[in-house]
Structure 1
Amino acid sequence: MSLCQRILTRHGLRASPAVMKTTSTSISSTQFRQMHSSKSVATTTTQALLAEFERRSNTIPKPPESRENPMIGIAPAARENVGQKRFADFNLNGRVFVVTGGARGLGLSLAEALAETGGNVYCFDRQPEAGPQWGEASRRAEEYGGSLHYRQQDVQDSEGIDRNIAEIADKHQRLDGIIAAAGVQHLAPAMEWTREEANRMMDINYTGLMMTATSAARQMFKYKCHGSMCFIASMSGSVANKGLLSPVYNSSKAAVVQLARNLAMEWSPIRKDGTGGIRVNCISPGHILTPMVLKNFEEVPGLREKWESENMMGRLAETSEFKGAALFLLSNASSFMTGNNLVIDGGHTAW
């Protein structure tokens, strides 16, 4: 339904078929005025509708112009002595991050990467407690100058996400970025999906991720932190997985990749007040040996062997093999990278 049609409906009016056809495409305010100049619509109502149309047309939000708001100051200055400090671009000492889906598996491994390089990392997950690997991960983080903290938080609870992220940012007077790794999987032929099942998966994998990102962005804007966000998408957002019927999951991951592009466009430029400067990228992993994938192997006999034969390396990934990519994207090492999708799949999508 077009904007004009929505305005008409709101006022209890109906347009002729010809008008409906015209309003299915973009129209100018002059065309709008002409369409509603007939005697069937009172002059005052026409004026009110036109005013509403013009008001909304003139208040459409636009992204900042990147040419006028360049991300200056994010990359090391050319005069700096390269090599003055070993791997300085990867140093996250004192920075603050939130990782969703961080109780176990891939999310915890990525959180480790940030903490082991000095970051203060808060892991959110709907599980009451973190997984068995948490203790060792936390110990290593402290050994290397970082820290890991766990909070039970479901990404479907937007108010809770807002509250927790705001508390963390206020405590440290900063927020430098997030890794959004929370997600669920459900296997079923397309014709067997219910609306409720599809909505739930999209609510977690896409909407929950977007609400996490926007909540974090509000705090990063508040404290003028020019940081980075990493969304965990999947190669499943680019290809259909052989041997696995997961149409909604794959669609949700494709949506995540597109969301990253759009948020990068909106948040990467630095405004004149110093806000912005947030880079947004994705990692699209191939098949990883996570608890979710191991469950898939139980549900579909022979699936592991099939997947191992489908990539160039002949095996599946361990969660630890993505730590370097996460550190790269959340640190200054990727200072000229935004709006991109880093595919790490053992060559699965390359042939």
Structure 2
Amino acid sequence: MIALRLDIGSGSSRYRTLDGRVFVVTGGAQGLGLTMAEALVEAGGHVYCLDRQAEAAPEFYATKEQLAQHFQGSLNYRRVDVQHAKELDEVVAEIAGEHQRMDGLVAAAGVQRVTPALEYPPEKITAMMNINYGGVYLSAVSCARQMIKYKTPGAMVLIGSMSGLIANKGFTSTVYNSSKAAVIQLGRSLAMEWGKIVDGKPIRVNVLCPGNIITPMVRKNFEDDPGLREIWERENMLGRISEPHEYRGAVLFMLSDASSFMTGSHLVIDGGYTAW
């Protein structure tokens, strides 16, 4: 006889709801980070977007106003550079102190530079790694400290890329690809360290590896190399480039109780690009 599960009476919504939970989204002033933040607010979360811009992009404030009219969660902005550990720690501690909890992180801050390896300025290598890897590392550690302090086990999503798994055809960005590979390994390593870190309960850490996405950075790539878009569209199985909203479901899954047995993993959403 099959035993019935009696803890699902509230339906599948219990896996989607993030009511009252507090999240940090780095790189959340615009683009993919903002889209993910929006999804978390719609699910009931209180979301703090961190970015180094003095003011968030106009789309941030338009999104904030719209969300406030329809959802119980909240969207907030704090200026901080994820490369600066002390300032980052202070901002994250202030957020956690206000709510007496910290539930998770989306580490989406990152930069990109398309340059052949033989022409790459050495000083730019350090600059990119400091943001794309170092910033993710520091953000995860800052949030973990508060999750431990307030005894709130939770989850983190580090934004990697399919570029951390392959060498993209027509995309000469060796350092960027390497930085994303480092993020994937960081996710595994932190997951191992933090599997029982909050009084025996976990901070789950996973990596989301998107394929090509239409973002402000990518639009700049297309301006610099008009033929690049056609190459990218041709190289995946769906014949198109993704939009930021197509990753909303993934981040909700990875930060909710629906993924309670998932940690140290990377989730690839690339239209089949890496499956050829």
Quick check: 1:193 aligned with 2:120? Answer: yes
Kindly provide the CA deviation profile for residues 19-47 of structure 1, in whole angstroms up to 9, marking residues without a partner as x. xxxxxxxxxxxxxxxxxxxxxxxxxxxxx
Distance in 1 (alpha carbons) for counterparts of 2:66 and 2:36: 13
Task: Write the deviation string for residues 202-260 of structure 1: whole angstroms up to 9, x where unpaired.
Answer: 00000111011011111111111110000000000001111111000000000000000
CA-atom RMSD in angstroms? 1.3
Among candidates 259, 273, 278, match of residue 186 of structure 2: 259
Alignment partner, residue 273 of structure 2: 348
Residue of structure 1 aligned with 2:246, choices 298, 301, 321:
321
TM-score (norm 2): 0.95
Unaligned 5+ runs, structure 2: none
User: Which moves more between the two structures, 128-137 or 313-322?
Assistant: 128-137
Could you say what secondary structure the match of 1:208 adopts?
A: helix
Deviation at 1:311, TM superposition (A): 0.4
Change (3 A) 1:153 1:206: same
One-letter amino acid of the structure 2 residue matched with residue 226 of structure 1:
P
SS in 2 for 1:225: coil
Percent identity of equivalent pairs: 58
Aligned counterparts of 1:342 and 1:170: Cα–Cα separation in 2: 32
Give the paired residue count: 272
The 8 Å contact of residues 110 and 323 in structure 1, kept in 2 or not, is answered as yes
1:88 corresponds in structure 2 to 14
Counterpart among 197, 202, 206 of residue 277 in structure 1: 202
Match of 1:145 in 2: 72
Aligned pairs for 1:158-173 within 5 A: 158-173=85-100
Does residue 1:241 correspond to 2:168, yes or no? Answer: yes
3-state secondary structure, aligned to 1:166: helix
Task: After TM superposition, give the deviation of residue 87 of structure 1 in Å.
Answer: 1.1
Paired AA for residue 314 in structure 1: G
- Counterpart CA distance in 2 for 1:135 and 1:196 is 35
- Residues 148 and 197, structure 2, Cα contact 8 Å, conserved in 1: no
How far apart, in 1, do the equivalents of 2:144 and 2:30 lie?
25
The 3 A distance-change label for structure 1 pair 338 and 86 is closer
Match for residue 335 of structure 1 among 243, 250, 260:
260
Letter in structure 1 aligned against 2:65: R
SS state of the match for residue 57, structure 2?
A: coil
Counterpart in the other structure of 2:211 = 286
Separation (CA, whole Å) in 2 of partners of 1:176 and 1:212 = 13
One-letter code aligned to 1:309: R
Task: Give the SS at the match of 1:94.
Answer: coil
**Residue matched to 1:135:** 61
Quote the residue 1:10 is aligned against: none
* C-alpha distance in structure 1 between counterparts of 2:123 and 2:40, whole Å: 36
Q: Distance in 2 between matches of 1:96 and 1:350?
A: 35
Instruction: Assess if the C-alpha contact under 8 Å between 1:222 and 1:275 holds in 2.
Output: no
Separation (CA, whole Å) in 2 of partners of 1:80 and 1:348: 41
Cα distance in structure 1, aligned partners of 2:9 and 2:63: 29
Specify the SS of the correspondent of 1:156.
coil
Letter in 1 for 2:151: K
Deviations 1:321-351 (A, max 9, x none): 0011001101111101000000000000010
Q: Which amino acid aligns with 2:35?
A: S
Which structure would you say has the larger Rg? Answer: 1
Query: Do 1:224 and 1:276's aligned partners in 2 also have CA atoms closer than 8 Å?
Result: no
Whole-angstrom distance in 1 between the partners of 2:121 and 2:13:
50
Instruction: Identify the residue that residue 218 of structure 1 maps to in structure 2.
Output: 145
Deviation, 1:95, is 0.4
Q: 2 CA distance for matches of 1:216 and 1:88? A: 24
1:81, CA displacement in angstroms? Answer: 3.3
Asked if residue 120 in structure 1 is aligned to residue 52 in structure 2, the reply is no
Query: What letter matches 1:169 in structure 2?
Result: A
Question: Which one-letter code corresponds to 1:343 in the other structure?
Answer: V
Deviations 1:116-155 (A, max 9, x none): 1100000001112212222332134332210000111111
Q: What is the distance in 1 between the residues matched to 2:238 and 2:248?
A: 19
